[in-house]
Every structure is written in C-alpha cells, then in structure tokens.
C-alpha cells in the first residue's frame, strides 16, 4: 500500500467521495467504489489497507481542498477583518455544500475507526492556517485579544459549519442563505471585534 498519491489512489478517492456523499459510508460498498472507479476489486487493497482507511484519506483530501480554495480566495491577504470573515463564510458554505454528508460522516466515524491523534494531525494545518490569519488582525488591532485565536477559530468555524449544514440539509431559510450569511458576519464581528465605538 502506497500512500503517496498515485493516479489510481485519487480515482478511488473520487469514487468513494461521490458515493458516500450520495448514500453514506455504510451503504457504500467497496465493490461500488471500484466499479465507479473503473478498476478491479483487488486493486483497491493495493492503495487502501481497508475500507475504514478511506476515512482519514477523505478528511485529508477535504482539508487540502479547503486550504487550496482559501488561498485561491486570498483570504490571508484580506484588507480587513470584515473582508476576511466574508471570505471565510463563503469558503465554509462552499465546502459544506460540496461535502455535506461526508463531513458529518467524518465526525461520526472519527472515534470508531481511528485514533483521535490521527484526526487532529489531519485537521491541524487548517486550524493553524486560520489562526495565523486571525492573529494578523489581532495585531492590527481589529480583533480583540481576549479569547485567544485558538478559541476564536473554534467558535467561528463552529457556527459557520453548523449554520451551513442547517442551510443545506434542511432547506428551510431557503433563498435566505444570503441573509444568514449577513447575520453571521455581523454576529461574529460583534463577538470578536475591538470596540471601535469607544
């Protein structure tokens, strides 16, 4: 089993992600995955030690995708915290729309299939990257210093993910997605912004 992404590794991952997004992890069989990938049953086990090994691989893929999109959006070059947050909101909503089911599965599958350390290692770069940006704006004096950036990232991602999920899962608030985003922006800013009124 090689982990350095070969062509077939990626094909299996693509197939797996699209199937799990459609039917959930447990309702997706290895044979469906290999069929969609157009490869042979046995070949799967040349690239993944087991079906369960897909979970961290998928998480990795999503984290990388999120960061790539964030950099394409030039989040770290945002002029001010408001613009940055606006971009982050877009990012989280996009990712959630694309990987909704997968993400929820990843949360539920985490503890059973793998060690938590493994998961933390996977998500760490993403968190670190965001913390760094928050720090920038703290230094610039746009954001408060009190909850440290770890917490800020945690809270921000928390509401954003949950809200995006609610938006796409239950299609209530339908059409008002933009209003939700606006409310979120305001809510988070109020929570973290330096009191500029004083």
Closest CA to 66 of 2, 123, 151: 123
Phi and psi (nearest 5°) for 24? 90, 160
* 101 belongs to the binding site for its own copies (CB under 8 A): yes
* 46 belongs to the binding site for its own copies (CB under 8 A): no
Contacts of 144 (CB under 8 A, 6+ apart): 138, 192, 193, 194, 195
* 180 belongs to the binding site for DNA (CB under 7 A): no
Out of 21, 39, 114, 161, the only residue in the binding site for DNA (CB under 7 A) is: 39
- Are residues 137 and 123 in contact, defined by beta-carbon separation less than 8 angstroms? no
* 29 belongs to the binding site for DNA (CB under 7 A): yes
Alpha carbons 21 and 101: distance in angstroms, whole number: 5
* 147 belongs to the binding site for its own copies (CB under 8 A): yes
Partner interacting with residue 44 (select from its own copies, DNA, none; CB below 5-8 Å by kind): DNA
Please report, for residues 22, 28, 102, 190, the alpha-carbon distance to residue 18 in angstroms, rounded to integers and kept in the order given.
6, 10, 9, 38
By CB under 8 A, the residues from 116 to 135 that bind its own copies are: 116, 119-120
Helix (H, G, I), strand (E, B) or coil at 80: coil
Residues that bind its own copies (CB under 8 A): 23-27, 101, 104-105, 107-112, 116, 119-120, 146-147, 151, 154-155, 157-159, 161-163, 165-166, 169-172, 180, 183-184, 186-188, 190-192, 197-198
Residues that bind DNA (CB under 7 A): 2, 6, 8, 27-31, 39-46, 50-52
């Amino acid at each position: 089993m090689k982990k350095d992404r070969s062509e077939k590794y990626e094909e299996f991952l693509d197939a797996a992600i699209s199937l799990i997004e459609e039917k959930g992890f447990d309702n997706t069989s290895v044979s469906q995955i290999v069929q969609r990938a157009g490869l042979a049953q046995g070949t799967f086990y040349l690239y993944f030690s087991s079906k369960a090994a897909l979970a961290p691989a998928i998480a990795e893929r999503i984290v990388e995708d999120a960061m790539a999109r964030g950099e394409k959006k030039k989040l770290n070059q945002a002029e001010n915290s408001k613009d940055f947050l606006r971009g982050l909101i877009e990012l989280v909503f996009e990712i959630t729309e694309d990987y909704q089911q997968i993400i929820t599965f990843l949360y539920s599958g985490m503890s059973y299939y793998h060690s938590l350390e493994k998961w933390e290692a996977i998500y760490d770069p993403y968190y670190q990257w965001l913390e760094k940006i928050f720090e920038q704006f703290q230094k610039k004096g746009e954001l408060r210093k009190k909850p440290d950036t770890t917490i800020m990232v945690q809270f921000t991602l928390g509401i954003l993910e949950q809200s995006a999920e609610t938006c796409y899962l239950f299609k209530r608030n339908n059409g008002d997605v933009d209003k939700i985003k606006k409310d979120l922006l305001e809510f988070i800013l109020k929570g973290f912004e330096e009191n500029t009124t004083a």
